[in-house]
Structure 1
Amino acid sequence: MSKKLPETNSESGEVDLGQLFKMIGSAFERLFSLIGNLLYKLFLSFVWLVFFVRKHFIKLVIAAALTFVLAMIKDSLSDPIYKSSAIIKQNYPTGENLYDLVDYYNALISRKDSTSLAEALGIPQSSTLNLVSFDVDPMVGENVRIKNYDDYLKSLDSSLSSDIDYEKYIENTQRQDYNLQKVSIRTINTFESRLVFQRIVKNLNSSDYFTREQEKDINELENERSAILRSLEESDSLQETYKKILEQPLDEINPGSQTSITIQGQENKLDTKEYELY
C-alpha cells in the first residue's frame, strides 16, 4: 500500500516572506527619505542665513552697536540699586512661611500697594517707594547637603535607606527646608533695612505654626523644670533628715545599732557616724 503524504504550500510561504521583506524595505526607505529631507532643509536654512548675514552684515553690526550704547545710557541714567542682606536661622521648620512672606511683599510692590506694604513692614508709607524687590535663597554648601543626607539616612529604617540615593534626596529637598536662609532687599536709595529685617522676623515668629511649636516646647521645659525642682526639694528634705541623724549621739538613736564583726572568736566593734547622700 502506498501512503499519501500531505503537500506543503511552499509557494504561499515564499510569497508571505517576500511581502515581509518588501514592507521592511519600504519602511527603511521612508525613514531614510525623511532624514534626507530634514538634513536638506537644515542645509538650505544654513545657506540662507549665511547669505542673509552677508547681505545685511553692516546693518546688523550697526543695530548691535546701537543696542549696546542704549543699554549703557540707560544704566548710567537709571537710579542705582542698593542691596541689603540678612541671614535668618530657623529654629523651627518655618521656611515655607518665610518664602510666602517674601512672595507677599513682592506682590504688594508689583501692585504698588504702599499702604499695605507699610503696614506689613512697619515703615512709613513714603519709605516703601524705595523698595524694588525682596529675595530669599538658602545658605547651603555641598558639605551641608552631604551631612543632611547622612542624618536623613540615619533617621530611616535600614530597609528604606538603601532605596534612596543622594541625587534623589537632593531632588526632593525643597529650598525652604534648609535652616539658614539669606533674605535680601533691593532699593533705589539708601534705606534703613535693619528695621525691615526685624519686622520680617517678627512676622515670621507670629505665625500660627511657630507659636504652636514654641508653646509646645515651653510647656515641655516647664514640666522638666517642675520635675527637677521637686527632685531637689525631696533631696534637700532627705539631706536634712540625714544631717539630724548624724548630729544626734549614736546611743540615743538605737543602742543596738552598732555594727559588730566577729573574726575567729574576736569581736571588733566599728562605730559608723558618717553617711553619704550623693
Structure 2
Amino acid sequence: MSENLPKDKNEEVDLGALFSAIGKFFDKVYGFIANILKGVFSSIIFLIRAVIDNYKVITIVVLTAMLFGYGLQKMKEPVYYSEMLVKPYFESKYQLVTNIDYYNSLLDSENYETLSSVFTINDKEAKTIKSFEIEIGPETENDLVVQYDKYVKSIDSIRAQDISFEDFVDNRDLYSSDLFTIRVESTKRDIFKKLSNGFELTISNNEYSKKKMRIRDSTLAIKRQAYMRDLRKIDTLQMVYLKILSNESEKGAVSVGMEGMFPLTQERTQTREFELFQNELRLRDSISVLDQLKVEENVYYDVLSDFSEIGVKSNDWTKKYILILPALAILVMLLTFFASNAIRFVKNYEA
C-alpha cells in the first residue's frame, strides 16, 4: 500500500493543474468579454459627453439642415405614382421587362420625343414622367406552391430531390413570375391612363410572341380537327348500331333448338352504345377546353388592374429632404469628430 501513495499524490497534482488551467482559461474569456463591454460602454459615454459639450453647435447644424431640407422639398414638384397589374402570355414578359428598361433609358437620355411617340402623348407630358419600374406581382403561398410543383415536374426527378421549396422561392428572379406590377412616377397627376395603350402597342409588336400565338393556334386547330374526325367516326358507328338494333327488332331474329330439345332463344348482336357515348362526351369536353383556351388567351397580356385616373402622391423617404439632410449633417459631424480625435491620438503617439 505504501507503494501506491506517490502515484495517488501525482494524480491529485495533475488534476489540480488541469482545473487550475481551466480556471485561468475562463478567467481570460471573462476578462476579454468584460474589456469589450467596458470599451463599448466607454465609447458610448465618450460620444454622449461630446454631444453634451457641443450641443449648441449640433442643434444649430441640425436645425439649419432641417430648414434647408424643408425649403428644398417645397421647391420641388410633388411626384405621383400609379400601378398596373398585368399577366403576360406567349412569353411576352421578356419583351415587357425589356420595354421598361428601354423607357428608362429614354428618360435618362432625355429623349422625350421618342417617348411621346411610344405613348401617344405630347412632349410636355413626356417630360413629367420620372421613372418606370417593374416587379413581381402579388403572389399567395398557393401560387408559389403551384409554380414549384410545375418547376419540379419540368426537371430531372433526381435533381428535383435536391431543390426544396425554400430554395426555389429564394432563387426566383423577375422572369419567374406570371404576374407583374408596373409602377410609373410622374409630376403630372392625371397622365397615367394615357400610358396604358402605349404598353399594349409595344408588347403586341413583339414578333416572338406573335409566332408563339400562331403556333398555339395551329396546334389547337390540328387537335380540334382530330377530335372532330373522331366524333364523326363515333356518329357513324352509332348510326350503324341503331340500324342493327332496328333491324333485329323488326325481324325478331328468333331461332329454334334442335328437335325441340331446347327452348326458343332470341340472338341479339352485341353493341357498345354506352362506351361510344362516353367517348363522345370526352371528345366534346376536349373540344370545349380547346375553344375556351383560345378565347381566354387571345391577347398578349391581360390587364388585371389598370392605372388609376388620378395618381397617388409618392411618400418615398429618399425624397424627404427634411429628414435626409439632418441625417447627413449628423453623419458628417460624427465623421469629423472621430477623424479629429484620431489625428490628435496619432500626433500624441508620435510625440
| TM-score bracket relative to the smaller structure | 0.5 to 0.7
Q: Give 1:87 shift.
A: 0.5
User: 1:206 maps to what in 2?
Assistant: 205
Taking structure 1 as reference, are residues 56 and 92 closer, same or farther at Cα in structure 2, changes over 3 Å only? farther
Q: Deviations over 1:8-34 (max 9, x none)?
A: xxxxxxxxxxxxxxxxxxxxxxxxxxx
User: 2:182 maps to what in 1?
Assistant: 183
Q: Which has the higher contact order (CA 8 A, sep 6+)?
A: 2
Q: Give 1:74 shift.
A: 2.9
Q: Is the 8 A contact 2:86 2:181 kept in 1?
A: yes
Is residue 2:88 matched to residue 1:90? yes
Matches within 5 A, 1:1-278: 53-141=51-139, 143=141, 144-240=143-239, 258=253, 260=255, 262=257, 265-270=261-266, 276=273, 278=277
- CA distance in 1 between counterparts of 2:58 and 2:120 reads 51
Q: Is the 8 A contact 1:136 1:182 kept in 2?
A: yes
Partner amino acid, structure 2, of 1:57: Y
- CA distance in 1 between counterparts of 2:256 and 2:55 reads 117
Number of aligned residues: 237
| TM-score normalised by length of structure 2 | 0.55
Q: Is the 8 A contact 2:112 2:123 kept in 1?
A: yes
Q: Give 1:108 shift.
A: 0.8
Q: Is the 8 A contact 1:185 1:193 kept in 2?
A: yes
Q: Deviations over 1:104-158 (max 9, x none)?
A: 1111112211111112223333321221111111124461334433443344444
Q: Is the 8 A contact 1:134 1:186 kept in 2?
A: yes
Cα RMSD, aligned residues only: 3.8
Taking structure 1 as reference, are residues 43 and 239 closer, same or farther at Cα in structure 2, changes over 3 Å only? closer
Q: Give 1:174 shift.
A: 0.5
Q: Give 1:248 shift.
A: 6.7
Taking structure 1 as reference, are residues 192 and 237 closer, same or farther at Cα in structure 2, changes over 3 Å only? farther
Unaligned runs of 5+ in 1: 1-40
Partner amino acid, structure 2, of 1:265: M
Pair member with larger Rg: 1
- CA distance in 2 between counterparts of 1:47 and 1:238 reads 97
Structure 1 range deviating more: 50-59 or 170-179: 50-59
Taking structure 1 as reference, are residues 191 and 273 closer, same or farther at Cα in structure 2, changes over 3 Å only? same
- CA distance in 1 between counterparts of 2:148 and 2:267 reads 63
Taking structure 1 as reference, are residues 261 and 76 closer, same or farther at Cα in structure 2, changes over 3 Å only? farther
Taking structure 1 as reference, are residues 167 and 248 closer, same or farther at Cα in structure 2, changes over 3 Å only? closer
- CA distance in 2 between counterparts of 1:150 and 1:261 reads 65
Q: Is the 8 A contact 1:140 1:178 kept in 2?
A: no
- CA distance in 2 between counterparts of 1:118 and 1:214 reads 29
Secondary structure of residue in 1 paired with 2:78: coil
Q: Give 1:220 shift.
A: 0.6
Q: Give 1:183 shift.
A: 0.5
Q: Percent same amino acid among aligned pairs?
A: 20
- CA distance in 1 between counterparts of 2:213 and 2:123 reads 32
Structure 1 range deviating more: 151-160 or 97-106: 151-160
Taking structure 1 as reference, are residues 231 and 44 closer, same or farther at Cα in structure 2, changes over 3 Å only? same
Q: Deviations over 1:149-199 (max 9, x none)?
A: 344334444421222234432332102211111111111112342342232
- CA distance in 2 between counterparts of 1:146 and 1:66 reads 53
